[in-house]
Amino acid sequence: MLGLIKRNIRRSFPNQMALIDMCRLFRKKQYLLNASHVLLKWEHTYLHSTGWLRSFKENKPVDRNGQDLPWMNYAVIHLLKERLTKNMNLFEYGSGSSTLFFSQLVGFVRSVEYDQSWFQKVTSEMPENVDLLFREKDENGLYCRTISESPELYDVVLVDGRDRVNCIKHSVKKLKDRGVIILDDSSREEYEQVFVFMRKNRFRNISLEGLKPAGWDIDRTTIFYREGNCLGI
């Protein structure tokens, strides 16, 4: 019987290298299937424990328990969850799940939104410690200057909306001495001038990378800080 099998293999694969290549391809596919099975089935894996799979299923950023998360990579989410405190306040360009997340961690959140329909949708979801503002989308206009409309200085400014370069420039003068500015998607080429501007203003920076909830690509978020900052970096 074994001899018959060998003869059939030789007839089907007269070229020995073709047989070897086919075996390698089979092993590779089997490896990928096994890896996918582990990642998707075992509850202690990264995709389960971070809530990535639940976010993918629900098409919104949530943790494994369904609690709201910012649409930023998990490394920076973990850092902020660990180090933000209720005696801090935060200004945010862009609103939504992130606003709800931060409202649980800091004392007060002011957030500006440019999308009218989205603004109307999320307004009803906001808790009492959130001040949600609407400004039309523009460039180097009212939107980026919203942070300067009130006298408060902020511990944390998150820039994750539109016109981000100008938002960064207007945020610097509204920081407390220990304040930090966070720029999401900082790997984009158009944000290189932000790094130049912040170095001129004597800020250091640290970048964190990883998956976003339901995301496929490596995402980078950069924190700009000075010595003695509120995040202890």
What's 136-200 look like in SS3? CCCCCCHHHHHHHCCCCCEEEEEECCCCHHHHHHHHHHHEEEEEEEEEECCCCHHHHHHHHHHHH
Residue with token string 């700009």:
224
**pLDDT interval class at 207 (50, 70, 90):** very high
What mean pLDDT value characterizes the chain?
88
CB atoms within 10 A of CB 185: 18
203 pLDDT band, cuts 50/70/90, is: very high
Contact 204, 228 (CB under 8 A): no
User: pLDDT value at position 48?
Assistant: 87
- Given this model, what pLDDT does residue 26 score? 47
The whole-number average pLDDT for the span 66-84 is: 97
